[in-house]
Amino acid sequence: MYQYLFFDLDGTLTDSEEGITKSVQAALKRFGIEVKDPHELVPFIGPPLTSSFMGYYGFTEEQAQEAVAAFRSRYNTTGLFENRPYPGIENVLASLKKEGKKLLTASSKPEPLVHRILEHFGLAPYFDLMAGAGEDERKAEKACVIENAIERYGIPGEARKEIVMIGDRRHDVEGAHRCGIDCLGVRYGFANPGELEKAGADYIVSTVKEMETFLLTH
């Protein structure tokens, strides 16, 4: 059975669409790009921001870094609280903890923000380690975050078969597989239809309740 449960944050533990998309919208406006409907910016949720600005809007690396700074000027004060845990998430974490599972986060969000968000919503006490990316987004790729969490928590190599990554985007699946661990995809987050299947998720669930059942029985 899986003993070490690595959770993504955005789209897995919390519905962060409003705060992230409005902050991306504000950052793009600094460059003269008007996006009237923030929902169009949902693809920014999950992957590292620098690569998203470069990939979706053709920014140079320097421009992308400027955009990330503009994003954070809004997000770090307002956007991170335009957010809410998915209904039932706290009960799931409590149940898993009661069963002796080790709960960790593996988020591409800067680690201090991971701590602030989970503490704000009262979820921090359930986690044995809250791992995220560095403030400058170096090592923000999901595989790097996962490897960092494994090393910091001291999980031995032979125990990787007992680790599962839980996330809502292809980056979670790809990062998990690069680290030699399984991935449980959750459809209730921000993945496009078929995204998790195409990425090769080992298992997929559609609801928070299904996720709980899976993690308690596998």
Which residues are known to be catalytic? 8
CA distance 112 to 96: 24
According to DSSP, the residues that pair with 104 across neighbouring strands are 6, 129
Query: Please, which residues have CB within 8 angstroms of residue 208's CB and are 6 or more apart in sequence?
Result: 86, 87, 88, 89, 92, 186, 188
CA distance 95 to 23: 34
Query: Please, which residues have CB within 8 angstroms of residue 39's CB and are 6 or more apart in sequence?
Result: 17, 21
* Inter-residue contact 151 to 163 (CB < 8 Å): no
- Phi, psi angle pair for 37, to nearest 5°: -105, 105
Listed in order, strand segments (DSSP E) in 111-175 are: 129-133, 163-167
